[in-house]
């Protein structure tokens, strides 16, 4: 009797799918398979002992010696040996499955079918243990932003409006280093931390470089990944050393209002696009319009939020074209922003979990606007 199995070949440290399937992280690729009757993984002798204690209990562990018909210990040979041992005629694989491996499996007579949807659709809806991991990563991000705010508070303002800390100019690079050190000390991997000031903050993913200045926005977007579990946290705060111009402070208040109102709308059954539209309405009515001038976008030109889990950006999206209603159990960011090339940007981001009666905010860090 022929059979169809799911197949993953990936490294647990790099693949959220593999990490979800097995809970086992490795720098090198290994093999995972699944059918209606069983789920298993095949790892090298180097990883076998650790896998025994770290893998998910519902996944059976195999070593290379369990598949003696493999021509060698390449992953393709092991997949072919697995197919012979289980009478497998077809493997269903994720869309990012390695093309060369798929070609070799097909050349051996197997069907390899890319999955047209989500390989693990249940990943979108978080278990309580996953929420705890995400919250742990978020707490580290909060600690890191607090440390950065203390440095900004202890900084002085030079005659040219640059910030000075311990006798040296405070730069984006130094502030990012302070943030990242807190993350590493807490057991997380910093990845692309943003500490952008002034006009650089008008570009949402500009990491920031050079001196930081008083009276201008300093956007800190911190998204650590726990080394122990692979789960991410996500947090953004915008602060000012000394008060900014009134127009900029009004933008900050509008972004904060949009975030809070949109968080209050989130619950099972809500259409994410409608929540995004509410953020647009609030910001527009506050006098902050969105558009494009030349080659630069301005205003609120990105999605309101995204899912967070074993990937920093995953389903669902809170965006204009997101029309599938929330179901409950999703962990999402709510991060409206305003960006203008003439003065910079504002973004405030909280992390929430969708509960049966609304959104539970996981973020505990207060909004800190002006730091004197």
pLDDT digit string, tens, across residues 101-112: 999 999 999 999
Angle at 85 between CA 95 and CA 52, to 5 degrees: 75
164 in the same domain as 297: yes
178 in the same domain as 300: yes
Residue 14: DSSP 8-state: T
The number of C-alpha atoms within 13 Å of 345 and in the hemisphere containing its C-beta is 34
319 in the same domain as 193: yes
**What is the percent of the chain with per-residue pLDDT over 70, rounded to a whole number?**
99
18 in the same domain as 142: no
User: Which range of residues forms the domain containing residue 110?
Assistant: 3-119
User: Which residue, 63, 84, 119, sits at the end of a domain?
Assistant: 119
Per-residue confidence band for 116, with pLDDT thresholds at 50, 70 and 90: confident
State mean pLDDT over 271-294.
Answer: 97
Q: Which pLDDT score is estimated for 141?
A: 98
Q: Which pLDDT score is estimated for 311?
A: 97
CA distances for 46 relative to 25, 40, 186, 227, angstroms: 13, 17, 28, 20
Per-residue confidence band for 2, with pLDDT thresholds at 50, 70 and 90: low
pLDDT digits (tens, 9 = 90+) for 244-265: 999 999 999 999 999 999 999 9
State mean pLDDT over 212-224.
Answer: 98
Residue 366: DSSP 8-state: P
State mean pLDDT over 181-210.
Answer: 97
Per-residue confidence band for 117, with pLDDT thresholds at 50, 70 and 90: confident
What CATH number did the domain enclosing 74 receive?
3.40.350.10
Among the listed residues 353, 369, 370, 372, the one whose alpha carbon sits nearest the alpha carbon of residue 256: 369
State mean pLDDT over 279-302.
Answer: 96
Domain count of the fold of the chain: 2
Q: Which pLDDT score is estimated for 251?
A: 98
């Amino acid at each position: 009797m022929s059979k169809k199995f799911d197949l993953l070949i990936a490294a647990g440290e790099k693949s959220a799918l593999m990490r979800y399937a097995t809970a086992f992280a490795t720098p090198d690729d290994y093999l995972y398979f699944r059918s209606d009757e069983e789920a298993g993984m095949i790892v090298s002798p180097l990883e076998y002992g650790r896998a025994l204690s770290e893998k998910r209990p519902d996944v059976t562990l195999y070593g290379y010696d369990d598949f003696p018909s493999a021509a060698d210990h390449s992953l393709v040979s092991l997949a072919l040996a697995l197919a012979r041992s289980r009478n497998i005629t077809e493997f269903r694989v994720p869309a990012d499955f390695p093309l060369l491996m798929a070609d070799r499996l097909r050349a051996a007579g197997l069907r390899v079918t890319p999955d047209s949807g989500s390989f693990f659709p249940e990943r979108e809806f978080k278990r309580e243990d996953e929420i705890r991991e995400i919250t742990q990563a978020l707490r580290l991000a909060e600690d890191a932003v607090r440390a950065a705010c203390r440095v900004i508070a202890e900084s002085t303002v030079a005659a040219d409006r640059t910030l000075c800390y311990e006798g040296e100019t405070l730069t984006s690079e130094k502030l990012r280093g302070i943030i990242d050190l807190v993350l590493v000390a807490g057991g997380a991997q910093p990845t692309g931390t943003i500490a952008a000031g002034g006009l650089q903050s008008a570009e949402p993913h500009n990491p920031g470089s050079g001196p930081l200045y008083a009276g201008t926005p300093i956007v800190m977007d911190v998204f650590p990944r726990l080394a122990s579990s692979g789960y991410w946290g996500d947090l953004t705060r915008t602060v000012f050393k000394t008060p900014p111009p009134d127009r900029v402070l009004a933008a900050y208040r509008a972004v904060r209002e949009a975030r809070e109102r949109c968080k209050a709308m989130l619950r099972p059954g809500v259409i994410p696009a409608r929540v995004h539209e509410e953020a647009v309405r609030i910001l527009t009515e506050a006098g902050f319009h969105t558009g494009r001038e030349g080659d630069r976008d301005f205003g609120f030109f990105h999605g309101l939020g995204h899912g967070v889990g074993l990937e920093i950006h995953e389903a669902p999206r809170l965006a204009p074209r997101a029309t599938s209603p929330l179901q409950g159990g999703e962990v999402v960011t709510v991060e409206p922003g305003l960006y203008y090339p003439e003065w910079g940007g504002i973004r405030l981001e909280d992390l929430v979990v969708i509960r049966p009666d609304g959104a539970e905010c996981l973020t505990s860090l207060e909004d800190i606007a002006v730091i004197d």
